[in-house]
Structure 1
Amino acid sequence: MSKQKIVIIGNGISGITCAREVRKNDASAEILVISGETKYFFSRTALMYIYMGHMQYEHTQPYEDWFWEKNRIELLQAWIEIIDFQHKKLICHNGKTIHYDVLVLATGSKPLMINWPGQQLTGVQGLYSYQDLQLMEKNTAGIQKAVVVGGGLIGIEMAEMLASRDIQVTFLVREAEFWDNVLPEEEAKMVSRHILEHGIDLRLNTELEEITGNQNHQVVGVKTKDQESISCEFVGLCIGVTPNIEFLKDTELDTNKGILIDAYFRTNLPDVYAIGDCAEFRKSPNSNRKNIEQVWYTGRMQGETLAYNLTQENPIPYQPGVWFNSAKFFDIEYQTYGNVPAKLPEDMETFYWEDEKGKVAIRFNFSKHSEVIQGVNAFGWRLRHEFFDHAINEEWRVDQVMEQLDQASFNPEFYKPFYRRVIQSFNEQHGKHLKPKKTSFIQRLIGSRA
C-alpha cells in the first residue's frame, strides 16, 4: 500500500483509537491528529474526578507524552476553521494550511442548548470539554447554591461534582422520575431515591422557563414553568449533547444532526470519513441501535473498524454487536446489555429483582414466546461482560442464564451472593425449580481459550 497522509480531526476515544490501530496495521502511513481542546488524549469520563479532587489532569492521560513520537503519530493543538474538500486541505484558526490524502472527522459532541432566556449569562454553562471543566472551576468558586437542569448522565455527574464541594444543588428533571425515558420505572425510581438520599434537592416534573441575572449579567436564579423562582449562583445545563459539526454545516459534506455516513464510515465525499459522536449512520446498524451512538465503547469500536478499513484491501461494515453501556449514579454502578427499553414491548417478558435496601437490582428481558434473553440491567452488581455477550449472541433461554448467574458476577471476594435470592424469586414468580449449575460458563470460557 502506497504511503498516505491520514489526518484525524479530534483526539477523543474514536480518533485516537483510529490513529493507534492504523499505526499497528501500517508502518508507513503519515498520521496527524488535530485537536483544539488539548494536545494529548485524555479520558473524558474522568473530568468529574478532577473537579472532585480525586485526580489531576495528568492522571487522565492513558499514555505518556513520549508515546506519540515513538509511534510516529504527530499531534497538533489547533482549531480547524475551514475545510477545502476539493483541494484536500485544512485551514487552522492561525492561518496554517494542512493537506491530507485521507480525512477522518472525529469532532465529538458539544452541550445541547435550546435557547432559554438568560442562558448567555455568566455562570451558566454545559459540561463536555476540558475547557468546560476549567470554566466550571471559575464559575463555581466560592458559591453556595447551584441549579442543574436535565435528568440524564451528565446532569447527575454535575450534581455529584457540585455536592462534593458542599454546594447546595437543586436538580430540575422534567420527567416523572430520573432518566425514565431510558430506564424502566422501577430502576428510575430507585435512582431518584438515591439522588435524594445524597442531599440533592431533586425536583421531578419540573421544567426550566428562564434564567435570571443581575445588572452585571451574572446569574442569580431560575424560574420554572410553574412560576417558582429558585435563587442560585450557577446553572448547569445538562439536557444532552449534540454532534459538534457547526463548522461543516455550509459545506458540500452531507449532514443532518451529525455527519451522514454509511456502514463503512464513508461520507458523500471521497476519502472523507466520520466516526464517533459526530457521525450519523444513514441506516442504523441494527434494529436496536440508534443512528448516532454517543458512547465511549462504540466510539472505540468505530475507530478500530475504520482503521482496519483504511489499511486492508477488503473493508468490513461496522458490526457493533450487543449493546452495552455503563455509568455510576453516585455510588451505585450501572450496567446494561442488549435491549432494555423504558417501556416493555408487547412481545417481551421481564423479571425484576431489587434487594430490600434498594441499592442492588437486576432486570432480565426475554422473549414472551421463546424465553430467549433479550437484555439485562444491573445496579450495584458488577456483571461479566463476556457472559452476557455470549448469552445474548447465542440466544440463551432465560433459564440458562439463571442457572449460571453466579458465573456472571464480577463482584469482589466476600460480596453478597445475590444470585441465590434472584433465582429463588424467579422460581417463585414463574413456578420453576432452577438451581445453579455445576458446569460453569467460566470453565467453558477457559476451555475455549486454551
Structure 2
Amino acid sequence: MEHIAIIGNGIAGVTAARHIRKQSDYKITLISAETEHFFSRTALMYVYMGHMKWQHIKPYEDWFWDKNRIELKQGYVKTVDTDNKQLLFEDQSHLKYDKLIIACGSKPNKFGWPGQDLDGVSGMYSKQDLETIEHYAPNPEKCKRGVIVGGGLIGIELAEMLRSRDIPVTMLVREKSFWNGVLPDGESQMINKHILEHHIDLRLGVNLECINADENGKAKSVIVKETGEEIECDYVGLTAGVSPNIDFLKDSGIETGKGVKVNKYLETNIEDVYAIGDCAEQQEPTGNRPPVEAVWYTGRMMGEVVAQTVCGRKTAYKPGHWFNSAKFLDIEYQTYGWVFPKRHCEEYEKHFHWRHPEDNVCVTLSYHKDTRKFLGINTFGIRMRHEVFDKWLSEERDIDDVVKNLKQANFDPEFFKTYEKDIYKSYKNQLLVKA
C-alpha cells in the first residue's frame, strides 16, 4: 500500500490528509512535534483571553484520526533522505514514505537580537508560545509590562491578549505608521489612533537594540536602538513577521529559496515530494500574490489541490482573487483584490478613500484611472460579502458601478448602522471637484 507522509499538522497538512483519505486507501502519516492533535492556530489568542478552552479549538474529536485511518507521529524531522525516501528523526527513528508532502509552516522571525532566546521571550505562533505567554504574563502582578517587537496582525493580536488581562503594553514598530507597508495612509493613521485609544504605548519608527537578562536568565528589559531608552518588562513578544520553517531541508536536495520552491502543481524539484502552506514558495505566483502566502485559507486550498494530484488527478493551484480578513482590536478588517499603499501603486492606480468623521469606519477602493476598472477594496468596521466582490472582480466591474451598489455587498446584521449612502455621496462629490 502506498504511504503518504505529511510533515506538519496545521491547516495545510491536515486538509491534505483529509482529502487524500476521501479519495484513496493510501496509508497516511501526519507528523508534528508541536501537538498531538490539530488545532485552529488563529484561535490561540482566544484561549489566553478566556473566550475558549483548549478543547474548543480542536476542530476534530481525538477519535477522528483513528476512525479515518490517519496515523499521527510526534517528533522533529532532522533529515529528509530523498534518495532512499525516508525521514530521519531527532530521536534516531526513521519513517519510509512513497510520497512526501512538506507542510511544516512558519516560524517567528528573529534578527540576531542579543537576548532573543532568553526565558520570557516568545513569538505568538505555536501552542508552546501560548504556554510561554501564560507562564510569564499571567496577570499584571507577575508581568508589570509586556514589550512587543513588530507590528502587523500578529503584533496587534498579542497586544490585545495582554491588555485583556490589564497588562501594560509597549509596541516597538519600525515603520513610521502602523502596517503602512500594507495599508494606505488614511487607514494606517486610523489604526495608530485606535491603538493609542486602547492604552497601548505605541512607539513608531523605532527598532529593538537588545533584550537584557536578569540574574536568572529571564528577560528584564529592552533597549530602544534609536534613543537608548531602557524599558523594563517581564515578557517580550517577537512579532516581526514569520518565515518558512525549512532549515531541516538544507541537505535534502529539495530546492529552496525563501521557502520550498514549487511549481503550479505544488511539486518540488524532487519527484514525489510536494510542499504546501506557509512553507511553499510559488515559482509562478498568481497575479500580484506573493510567492510565499502565510495565510490560513491558502494553506487549506493548497491542501485540497495537492490531494487531487497525489491521488492521480493532477491539479494546478489556482487561488483566484486575493482576499483576507483580520481584526485590529475591535475593528474588523477585510480586503478583496488589491489596494496598495500609494508608494507601491502602479501609475495607473487611483484610490477613493472615505472615512466616517466619528466612528472607526472607513473604506478605500482602488481602480484603474483610465479604464475605471475596479481593482480592490479595503473595509474597516463594515462587513462585506466575499462572493459579491469575487464576482465583481471577475466581471471587471466599473468603479462607479461598484460604489453605487456597495449595499449589495453589505453583510452586517439588520440593525447595524449602514454607511453606503454617505460613501456614495462622498464619491460623487469627489468626482464633481475633479471635474
Q: Secondary structure at the match of 1:181?
A: coil
**Pairwise CA distance, 1:144:** 1.3
Runs of 4+ in 1 over 3 A off after TM superposition: none
Could you tell me how far apart the structure 1 residues matched to 2:355 and 2:417 are? Answer: 14
Identity %: 50
The 5 Å alignment of 1:174-253 reads: 174-225=174-225, 226-253=227-254
Task: Assess if the C-alpha contact under 8 Å between 2:79 and 2:252 holds in 1.
Answer: no
Structure 1 position 369, deviation (Å): 0.8
- Looking at structure 2, the residues matched to 275 and 383 of structure 1 have their Cα atoms a distance apart, in angstroms, of 29
1:229 aligned partner, one-letter code:
E
For residues 82 and 374 of structure 2, the distance between their equivalents in structure 1, rounded to whole angstroms, comes to 47
> Counterparts of 1:32-47 in structure 2 under 5 Å?
32-47=29-44
8 Å CA contact 1:5–1:102 kept in 2: the answer is yes
Q: Output the amino acid matched with 1:12.
A: G
- Corresponding residue for residue 323 of structure 1: 322
1:120 matched to which residue of 2? Answer: 117
Q: Which runs of 5+ in 2 are unaligned?
A: none
Q: Match of 1:383? A: 384
Q: How far apart are the structure 2 equivalents of 1:420 and 1:274?
A: 46
1:77 matched to 2:78? The reply is no
Matched residue SS, 1:382: coil
Counterpart selection for 1:50 from 29, 47, 54: 47
Q: CA deviation at 1:78?
A: 2.1
The reply to whether residue 138 of structure 1 matches residue 139 of structure 2 is no
Give the residue type in structure 2 aligned to 1:121: L
Deviation larger for 87-96 or 14-23: 87-96
Equivalence for 2:418: 417
Alpha-carbon deviation of 1:431?
3.3
Deviations 1:399-441 (CA, angstroms, capped at 9, x unpaired)? 2212321110010111112111111111111139xxxxxxxxx
SS in 2 for 1:199: coil
Q: Take 2:21 and 2:215, find their aligned partners in 1: how far apart are those partners?
A: 55
**Amino acid paired to 2:102:** L
Aligned twin of 1:276: 277
Q: Which residue of 2 aligns with 1:430?
A: 431
Measured against aligned partners, the alpha-carbon deviations of 1:129-169 in whole angstroms (never above 9, x if no partner) come to: 11111111112242111111101111111111111111110
Matched to 1:285, the amino acid is T
Counterpart CA distance in 1 for 2:321 and 2:426 is 27
Question: Shift in Å at residue 108 of structure 1?
Answer: 0.2
1:5-16 mapped onto 2 (5 Å cutoff): 5-16=3-14
2:26 is matched with which residue: 29, 41, 56? 29
**SS of match in other structure, 2:393:** helix
Tell me if 1:106 matches 2:103: yes
Task: Name stretches of at least 5 consecutive residues in structure 1 with no aligned partner.
Answer: 433-450
What is the alpha-carbon distance in structure 1 between the residues aligned to residue 80 and residue 89 of structure 2? 9
In structure 2, what is the equivalent of residue 158 of structure 1?
158
Q: Which residue matches 1:334?
A: 333
For 1:130, the aligned partner's letter is: K
Residue 402 (str. 1) matches residue 403 (str. 2):
yes
Contact 1:118–1:213 (CA under 8 A) maintained in structure 2: yes
**Helix, strand or coil: the match of 1:431?**
helix
Aligned to 2:296: 296
Deviations 1:99-134 (A, max 9, x none): 111100000001100011122222122121111111
Distance in structure 2 (CA, Å) of the matches to 1:120 and 1:91: 26
Looking at structure 1, the residues matched to 390 and 120 of structure 2 have their Cα atoms a distance apart, in angstroms, of 44
- Mapped partners of 2:77, 2:118: distance in 1: 27
Deviation digits for residues 191-243 of structure 1 (CA, Å, limit 9, x no counterpart)? 11111111101111111111122222222211112211211111111101111
Counterpart residue type for residue 155 of structure 1? G
CA distance in 2, matches of 1:97, 1:322: 41
Aligned counterparts of 1:234 and 1:341: Cα–Cα separation in 2: 34
Q: What secondary structure sits across from 1:257 in the alignment? A: coil
Deviation at 1:310, TM superposition (A): 1.5
Q: Could you say which residue in structure 2 is the equivalent of 1:445?
A: none
Structure 2 SS opposite 1:236: strand
- After TM superposition, the structure 1 stretch with the greater mean CA deviation from structure 2, 113-122 or 423-432, is 423-432
Distance 1:79 1:415 in 2: 49
Q: Residues 265 and 275 of structure 1 are in contact (CA less than 8 Å); yes or no, is this contact kept in structure 2?
A: yes
Whole-Å separation in 1 of the counterparts to 2:64 and 2:400: 48
How far has the Cα of 1:357 moved from its partner? Answer: 1.9
Shift of 1:82: 2.0
Task: Please say if residues 103 and 271 of structure 1, whose CA atoms lie closer than 8 Å, have aligned partners that are also in contact.
Answer: yes
Higher mean displacement: 378-387 or 247-256: 247-256
Count of aligned positions: 427
Q: Distance in 2 between matches of 1:367 and 1:117?
A: 47
How far apart in 2 are the matches of 1:312 and 1:100?
17
Q: Distance between the aligned counterparts of 1:25 and 1:366, measured in 2?
A: 42
SS of the residue corresponding to residue 302 of structure 1 reads helix
Give the distance between the partners of 2:94 and 2:363, measured in 1 at CA: 54
Partner of 1:262: 263
Structure 1 CA distance for aligned equivalents of residues 371 and 222 of structure 2: 51
SS at match of 2:251: coil
Counterpart-to-counterpart distance in 2, 1:115 and 1:198 = 31
- 2:417 is matched by which residue type in structure 1? K
Equivalents in 1 of 2:382, 2:375: separation in Å? 19
Look up the SS of the partner of 1:144 in the other structure: coil
Displacement of 1:31 in angstroms is 1.4
Matched, 1:172 2:172: yes
Alpha-carbon distance in 1 for matches of 2:404, 2:51: 40
- Greater alpha carbon shift after TM alignment, 324-333 vs 87-96: 87-96
CA-atom RMSD in angstroms: 1.4
Q: What TM-score results when the alignment is normalised by the length of structure 2?
A: 0.95
TM-score by length of 1: 0.92
- Matched residue, 1:148: 148
Q: Distance in 2 between matches of 1:90 and 1:207?
A: 40
